[in-house]
Structure 1
Amino acid sequence: MPARPRVKDAFDPYTYTQGRWLHKDEELRKVRSLKFDFEALLDVAIKCTIGAQRVVHCEKKEGGYNRVFLIRFDNESQQVNERTKVCTPRVIASSAWTGPGSVGAEYMITTVVPGKSLGDEWNSMNPLQHVECIKSLAGLAKDLCEANFPAFGSLYLNTRRHPFPTIALDADYCIGTDPETYRKGHLSRVKAVVLESAIVTGVIDWQHTAVEPAYVSEIETPDFGTELKLDEDLDNLHCDEQAAIIDDSERCAKVWAELAFPCYKMGKAVALEPVYRHFLAASYFGWLTKEIELISLINDIGRLWNAIGMTGECPYKVSNEDRERV
């Protein structure tokens, strides 16, 4: 009698199914298709889970960058921190080896953080829960701000496989160059915040985080910390509903600003004139290589030249033609 499959035949772990492209859709989806030994990956997960003998359920979840498999075992467990109090999943197995004897793809197996995704829950929360959630996130941000590093960049394990040059932090970790040309990683880029009863229970996606200047982080405010801009969906609501949503949005923005400012590093960045923050962060975000962004930046500096404490006249004048393009 043939062995019973551990996952349904219709289950496709290899194909990226989220999102479509208007141009070259089939070609681009093929590029995002990843062939690997899925059964071998399940075997690894079983072996590193105490008491598990087989997989009883597997669910695929897709994000913008990663593919995640939520695996449930016959012992009812599920698999999917050291320096801070921030709750993160415990890594129980990982490998970057894709050669002979491997599963054919890089992987990381972690424990599951209890709770639900903030992105899924936010719209069903009431205003009081929004405030409590923001307070919880601000506490997380404050804890992260208390960590001190000797340089900017990304953290690596202090092994022979780390990039060079690096600065050793201790026997376990070092800090090296950021693997991307520019980075957009801070609290607003943490994709998967997990919470229960409006309290953050963990953060499970740190792909776009890095050790970076505080003024870079303050360029991008988390969605819940910005005042709501009117859109078509909001315009279609009844006046009372519209007013309630706008009021909640403004309250959230105010609470986040008030809680972020007392954090020493974040507070200093918040206190900077916005045009200064944009100027300092320009190279970090790649704006200096984009003509329109660069013209806009120079135009803002010239327009506020005296207001930001500069003397005389701005040495660079944006032409009328360039100003219209901006």
Structure 2
Amino acid sequence: MSKVLGTFVQKAQGLKNASSKFTSSVAEGNRILPSRNKDADFQLRIDAGHYDSTSKGLNVVLQVNSQAKSPALRDWARKNETHAKLATATFDTAAVDKDAEFQRVLEALPMPALAPTRHQLFRFPSSPLHDIYFIARAAAMPPIYRFQCTKANTAFGFDPYTYTSGRWLRDDHYERSSRYIAFDFGALCDRVLQLCPDAISIDSCKKLEGGFNRVFVFTMNNSRQLVARLPFVLAGPARLVTSSEVATIRYLQLKTKIPIPQIIDWNDDAKSPENTIGSEYIIMEHASGVQLSQVWDDMTGNQRVRCISAIFQKMKGATDLRFPSYGSIYLQDGLVHPFARQPLNEDFCIGPHCGSRYWPLKTRQRLNYGPWDNLDSFCEGLIDAGLANLSGSARDLDRKPSYYGSVDQHTAVLNSALPVLKQMSSNSCIVQSASPLLFHPDLHKRNIFVSEEDPTIITGIIDWQGASIEPAFWYSDDLPDFATPTDSDEDLYYKAYKASSQYYTPALSMPKSMDENLFRPFHYSYRTWKDGAIALHHEMVETARNWKGLNFEGQCLYSIPTSDSLLEYERAYRLFVAAQNLRYDLSNLLNSASDGWVPTENWEVTQTAHKEIFDGMLQAVLSNQNPEDDEPVQDEETLRSIWPFDLP
């Protein structure tokens, strides 16, 4: 049968404009190719299956023609039937290069029909330390032979569902349970194999975990690598996060020369009957080269400077794009309702912002998630996001420090801040710094790939999850880790970053050169539920005090505290500052992230050190019999209230 299938592929490749026949409009069950008068010559045909309007995938079916002359095909047809499915594949109708997609489908279709028998594909090792695990091309086999999920779960020596990379010193159970993904790992392995027609098994799989997604790096027996990315529930709104990431990547691939790995398959509907994996996912090619984080320490100073310049040469393509509004990018005929989108072109649109700040997990508020036509409406979205998040934080007010404030206080500060933000938005400096800009949300060394031979050549930029169109000044606080000075010598790389950004991405760099106090109220406006009401209140008070110095016109609409409330305000702010300093110092001492994350292997040691540090600080507070009047922490209750991590 292999010869017949090979001949069919060759003949199909010779058909003129064949790729143009694979469209969303072709009816399910209709013939795609070849035409009926060529049935005897081709012996096989491709019919249309179901079209998924969300993923833009057209399922296609390889079937045996009634006029087939091959004994192998005629024998297969006798055992089955003429309309039985010899093989299936999915044609991505949204692919930019239709001919390349047609070629991929042609290569994929014959493979299931040629799948080896089960005993050729399985090899169960006696020891996972010495033997390689193989996963069979299960999808091509009868159901009774499918490589069941239970085997796939243990084949690579890790738990694919549970977060295992670290623990949290605060709300550990919540943080880890928020990153649990219930899905069918065996089905994911099946799908990866289906997408690799030249491979017959998976040699290895590596599990990687970030803050918002889980990644599986599959290596096939032919050395090809595919990457599957599954989002955590806290990454943002269901379906929108995945569909926006796919659309953003495709838009950038269409409009820029930024090297982003190709998306091979994706599904944003975890509940769809057609999604056997049971989770949203994106499967893409592995980036070529090596992560910059792996080679940075071995690079010379000259190489690092040239690499930084090369990064911004690539990113220039994104900052040169122009957009009519703020929000996230989606496919034009995707899941975003027409009233909630603005067209970019016939294929793409701007729709709701998929950032998690606009989508609290639990809220009774009406959400304002965009898109927004102007900066005033963008500010309304920020304030509404702050109000919506309050309902989720109100449940544990008893755990908050005194400066945090009541729900009423948060509401009052947020409502008072909105007219001031709109006042500020009319300032010419703010307007010039607020052009809608799309940029990478996490441009650090781990997300940048470079050539193994020459690390100054950028070969890939990955992880565009959450990338959205923001006011240019929104990125003014971001500083990539390759530009962060750690000692006096490395100030050179910050200067290289600054110069490269100014030259290649001026829209991004201009706000960074301005007074940061112009933008701080915007950055704090939506997050009082996290920082406490005092944080935004302080920013607004300082803005009101420096109104003229910041070159704003008229009278600031935010009220400066009167003498009666000034003392209480200053006391609350000192405690807030003490809490931030404590979190920073404690994270450094424990070698943890600011949210308390530590690697799993350091968990027990870190817990012990954490308790010892608290006991020592508590003893210092209790032994201070005559604290200064402006000392923010004077007793055990206050210390416990601002302690950033859980205490035994």
Fold similarity call, TM over 0.5: yes
In 1, Cα distance between equivalents of 2:461 and 2:161: 26
Alpha carbons of 1:194 and 1:168: their partners in 2 closer, same or farther (altered >3 Å)?
Answer: same
Letter in 1 for 2:184: D
Counterpart in 2 of 1:193? 448
What is the count of residue pairs matched by the alignment? Answer: 307
Counterpart in 2 of 1:161? 335
Say yes or no: does 1:270 pair with 2:512.
yes
Mean Cα displacement is larger for which, 203-212 or 254-263? 254-263
What TM-score does the superposition give when structure 1 sets the normalisation length? 0.82
Once the two structures are TM-superposed, the CA of residue 137 in structure 1 deviates from its matched residue by 1.8
In 2, Cα distance between equivalents of 1:311 and 1:52: 67
- After superposition, the CA RMSD in angstroms is 2.9
For residues 92-122 of structure 1, the C-alpha deviation after alignment (integer angstroms, 9 at most, x for no partner) is 1111232334211111110011122233433
In 1, Cα distance between equivalents of 2:515 and 2:177: 46
Q: Which of these residues, 111, 127, 137, is aligned with residue 311 of structure 2?
A: 137
Alpha carbons of 1:56 and 1:265: their partners in 2 closer, same or farther (altered >3 Å)?
Answer: same
Would the aligned equivalents of 1:190 and 1:206 in 2 still touch at CA under 8 Å?
no
Once the two structures are TM-superposed, the CA of residue 287 in structure 1 deviates from its matched residue by 5.4
Alpha carbons of 1:108 and 1:311: their partners in 2 closer, same or farther (altered >3 Å)?
Answer: closer
Letter in 2 for 1:155: I
Q: Which of these residues, 254, 260, 265, is aligned with residue 82 of structure 1?
A: 254
Would the aligned equivalents of 2:327 and 2:350 in 1 still touch at CA under 8 Å?
yes
> Matches of residues 1-326 of structure 1 in structure 2 within 5 Å?
3-4=122-123, 6=135, 8=155, 10-22=157-169, 25=172, 28-80=175-227, 81-99=253-271, 100-101=273-274, 102-163=276-337, 164-180=339-355, 182=357, 186-187=439-440, 189-190=442-443, 192-196=447-451, 197-228=455-486, 245-248=487-490, 250-262=491-503, 263-283=505-525, 286=527, 290-310=532-552, 316-318=559-561, 319-326=566-573
Letter in 2 for 1:317: I
Letter in 2 for 1:22: L
In 1, Cα distance between equivalents of 2:282 and 2:524: 34
Q: Which has the larger radius of gyration?
A: 2
In 1, Cα distance between equivalents of 2:300 and 2:512: 28
For residues 217-269 of structure 1, the C-alpha deviation after alignment (integer angstroms, 9 at most, x for no partner) is 113232333444xxxxxxxxxxxxxxxx3221x21222222222233422432
Counterpart in 1 of 2:396? none
Once the two structures are TM-superposed, the CA of residue 53 in structure 1 deviates from its matched residue by 1.8
Alpha carbons of 1:310 and 1:151: their partners in 2 closer, same or farther (altered >3 Å)?
Answer: closer
Gaps spanning 5+ residues in structure 1: where? 229-244
Would the aligned equivalents of 1:193 and 1:204 in 2 still touch at CA under 8 Å?
yes
What's the secondary structure of 2:499's corresponding residue?
A: helix
In 2, Cα distance between equivalents of 1:210 and 1:113: 22
Counterpart in 2 of 1:232? none
Once the two structures are TM-superposed, the CA of residue 201 in structure 1 deviates from its matched residue by 1.5
In 2, Cα distance between equivalents of 1:313 and 1:323: 23
Letter in 2 for 1:212: E
Alpha carbons of 1:181 and 1:120: their partners in 2 closer, same or farther (altered >3 Å)?
Answer: same
Gaps spanning 5+ residues in structure 2: where? 1-117, 124-133, 136-151, 228-252, 359-437, 574-648
Mean Cα displacement is larger for which, 262-271 or 216-225? 262-271
What's the secondary structure of 1:194's corresponding residue?
A: strand
What TM-score does the superposition give when structure 2 sets the normalisation length? 0.43
Letter in 2 for 1:253: Y
What's the secondary structure of 1:57's corresponding residue?
A: strand
Once the two structures are TM-superposed, the CA of residue 313 in structure 1 deviates from its matched residue by 7.9
In 1, Cα distance between equivalents of 2:464 and 2:485: 26
Greater helix share, structure number: 2
Alpha carbons of 1:14 and 1:313: their partners in 2 closer, same or farther (altered >3 Å)?
Answer: closer
Would the aligned equivalents of 2:534 and 2:572 in 1 still touch at CA under 8 Å?
yes
Alpha carbons of 1:287 and 1:266: their partners in 2 closer, same or farther (altered >3 Å)?
Answer: farther
In 1, Cα distance between equivalents of 2:174 and 2:344: 44
For residues 254-285 of structure 1, the C-alpha deviation after alignment (integer angstroms, 9 at most, x for no partner) is 222222223342243234322112234444x5
Once the two structures are TM-superposed, the CA of residue 303 in structure 1 deviates from its matched residue by 4.8
Would the aligned equivalents of 2:319 and 2:439 in 1 still touch at CA under 8 Å?
no
In 2, Cα distance between equivalents of 1:225 and 1:278: 22
